[in-house]
Structure formats: structure tokens, C-alpha cells
Amino acid sequence: TEINLEEHFQNKIDSEIRIEPKDWMPDAYRKTLIRQISQHAHSEIVGMLPEANWITRAPTLNRKKILLAKVQDEAGHGLYLYCAAETLGVTRDETINDLHSGKAKYSSIFNYPTLTWADMGAIGWLVDGAAILNQVPLCRASYGPYARAMVRICKEESFHQRQGYELMMKLAQGSPEQKAMAQDAFNRWWWPTLMMFGPKDADSGNTELSMKWRIKRFTNDELRQRFVDVSVPQAEYLGLTIPDPDLKFNEETGHYEFGEIDWEEFWKVVKGNGACNKERIETRKKAFDDGAWVREAATAYHEKRKLREER
Ligand code: FAQ
């Protein structure tokens, strides 16, 4: 019966036994996984755009190679994640349609513009750094296909984070103009990065169940605090100033206290009204339409081979 199934399911979760695609699962578990995994996939795909904006303008051949590799990695991450979502019974077409129609969310961070080359450093260091903190615990998520996809993704994210920090270091140790460019990028990306972790725990409707189901292992505020604690010394090492006058170290708790996030801005961006939301969706739709011939050719090739095999 339904009750026994639900109990058995929760017992498996509590004993750290992975849930696999063909196992029984509550509808709400399936629904929240489809929501989170597809949102995550969309973030990887839309997340290629702000950095792709700089590939043709990278200052050296080496920087261009690194950036190209990083942006390609994000495409790969998006594709594994769409596959993981498919194991839950949604099709690729459905998830992509939801992105293009504006129904599906993706990370707020990718709706900010990349104005200077230093933004490539700030994104790698901060955005990929935040992504790793959030995703390492997801390697232990209760749903097998999601957890396994996260393992390789995290390895690649850690290269992304290092290349970003190294880029920032070069700028921070460069000419006064380069240092100013690094500080400006840091100023613009710091607060939006803190928003990546999601609303405050008190306003996070999904956390309680996601923790019970061990999809999430830490709350939004816990991960945000950890991010601030690791990033402040990194900024100090670069000689950059954290754009938060309220930031201070609390000797008793061993944590940094930080100022209030502009939640009005966060919800504005989440609801589709950030600086680049419309442009991002338009770009994705155009890429999809421009790629129609590739899908048609692949389907035609598949049909031809099937016919040949049948003969
Ligand atoms: N932006 O109840 P909660 C990357 C939504 S990293 C937009 O707390 P939850 C790598 C949330 O969906 C970025 N929407 O939700 C990369 C929910 O809406 P709903 C992607 C947000 O799920 C780097 C509502 O607010 N990473 O791509 C945001 O328990 C560089 C209430 O929130 C992931 O997706 C936001 N920031 O916790 C690529 C990680 N925050 O559906 C390229 C996996 C919240 O109820 C370049 N996801 N919302 O209407 C997660 O860990 C979780 O889904 C959270 C949100 C922590 C993001």
C-alpha cells in the first residue's frame, strides 16, 4: 500500500540507500527533483552566455583556450543534467520548452552582464566557487543519477574556480588600471553571488522536504555562510576590498557576519526582470531554432541506418 511504500522509501533514504529511476518514489519527490535538476541544467546552459561573450576578446591565446574549455564544460554539465531529469519521466523537449516559455527558472546570477575582462576572473572565482560549495554535497544527494552526475561536474568546476582565481591574481598584481578593473568586477559580482544560494532559510519553501529527502544536505543560509567564510580570506590575499561595510569577523562564532542581501533585487531577477533575462532567453531560443537543421539531419541519419539494418 501507499503508506508502506512511503515508509520503505524514507527508510532507504535514512539508511543512505540511493533511489534509482525505477524505484518507487513519492510524486512530490519526483516533482521537486525534476524542478531542481532541470533548473540546474538550464543554469549550466544559460550560464555559458555571459562568458561566451568574452571568448573572441580574450587577451591571449592561452586565456582564450582556457575560457573556451570552460564554456564547453558547462555545455557538457547541462547535457548530463538534462539526461538525469529524463530518468524521472520528463522529455528533453518539455524541459527546454519550459525554459524558452519562461516557466522554468535558472540561476539568477546569469542575468547580470559581463562588462570587462575582469568579470571572467570574478565569475570563475566567485560564481564557480559558490557552485562548488553547493554541488559537493549534491554528490551525496539521495537520487542516484543526480548524485553521480555531480561527481564529474564538481571536478570540472574546481578547475574553473582555480582559473578564475588565478586570473584575478594576475590582475590584482598588475598595473593600477588592472587592479581597479579587478576591484570593480568584484564589487559587481559579490552580492549577486551571495544570492545564488537562494532565499533565506525562513523564506525557502523547498528546504524542509529536500533536507528530509536528503536531496539537500545543508540549508541555503548554511552554504552562504560557508561561502563568505572561505571567500573573505581569498579576497584579502588578492588585496581586494569586500564591498560590504557591515562585514566583520565574530571571534566567538568563528564566522564572518555580513550585511543584508537586497532581497528585492533577488526576487526581481528571479521573476524575469533582471538586466539580461530577456536577452538570455532570446539568445537560447535563437540557438535552438538555428540548430533545427542539425536535429533534422541527425533524425534522418538515424532513420536511414534503421532501414539499412532492417534489410
Ligand atoms: N536563482 O525553496 P528554495 C552553475 C528559486 S551554478 C533563481 O530555497 P531550493 C555552474 C527556487 O527554485 C547555478 N531561482 O529552493 C556554472 C524556488 O523556486 P520554485 C546552478 C532561485 O530548490 C558556473 C524558489 O526560489 N546551480 O550553473 C534561486 O530548495 C559558471 C525558492 O527557493 C544549481 O541549480 C536563484 N539563485 O533551493 C555554470 C544547484 N534560488 O521552483 C556556468 C542546484 C532559489 O519553488 C558558469 N540547486 N530560487 O518556484 C539547488 O541547490 C537549489 O535548487 C537552490 C535553491 C539552492 C538553488
* ipTM of model: 0.97
Kindly tell me if the per-residue pLDDT of 116 is higher than 80. Answer: yes
Q: How do residues 41-79 score in pLDDT, each as one tens digit?
A: 999 999 999 999 999 999 999 999 999 999 999 999 999
Phi/psi at 256 (nearest 5 deg)? Answer: -85, 135
Which residues have any ligand 1 atom within 6 Å of their CB?
Answer: 35-36, 39-40, 43-44, 47, 74, 105, 107-108, 123, 127-128, 131, 134, 195-199, 204-207, 210, 220, 270
Minimum-distance ligand 1 atom for the alpha carbon of 195: 36
What are the cell numbers at 299?
533524425
Taking the centre of ligand 1 as the mean of its atom positions, its distance from the CA of residue 44, in whole angstroms, is 11
In this structure, the residue with its CA closest to atom 3 of ligand 1 is 204
CB atoms within 10 A of CB 174: 13
For ligand 1, pick from 107, 112, 160, 269 the residue to mutate: most ligand atoms within 8 Å of CB.
107
Confidence at residue 177, expressed as pLDDT on a 0 to 100 scale? 98
Taking the centre of ligand 1 as the mean of its atom positions, its distance from the CA of residue 16, in whole angstroms, is 24
Q: What is the mean pLDDT of residues 158-172?
A: 97
* pLDDT bucket at 311, cuts 50 / 70 / 90: confident
* pLDDT bucket at 10, cuts 50 / 70 / 90: very high
What are the cell numbers at 94?
518539455
Name residue 204's amino acid.
Answer: S
In this structure, the residue with its CA closest to atom 30 of ligand 1 is 128
Provide the mean pLDDT of the chain: 97
Kindly tell me if the per-residue pLDDT of 2 is higher than 80. Answer: no
CB 124 within 8 A of CB 70: yes
Confidence at residue 1, expressed as pLDDT on a 0 to 100 scale? 67
For ligand 1, pick from 123, 136, 196, 206 the residue to mutate: most ligand atoms within 8 Å of CB.
206
Q: What is the mean pLDDT of residues 230-250?
A: 98
DSSP letter for each residue of 213-267 = TTS-SS-HHHHHHHHHHHHHHHHHHHTPPPS-TT-EEETTTTEEE-PPP-HHHHH
For ligand 1, pick from 200, 204, 216 the residue to mutate: most ligand atoms within 8 Å of CB.
204
295 CB contacts (<8 Å, ≥6 apart)?
A: none
Task: Please give the Cα distance from 203 to 176 (Å, whole number).
Answer: 42
Kindly tell me if the per-residue pLDDT of 137 is higher than 90. Answer: yes
Angle at the Cα of 79 from the Cα atoms of 104 and 130, rounded to 5 degrees: 70
CB-count burial class (<10 Å; 0-12, 13-18, 19+) for 186? buried
Confidence at residue 3, expressed as pLDDT on a 0 to 100 scale? 74
CB atoms within 10 A of CB 23: 14
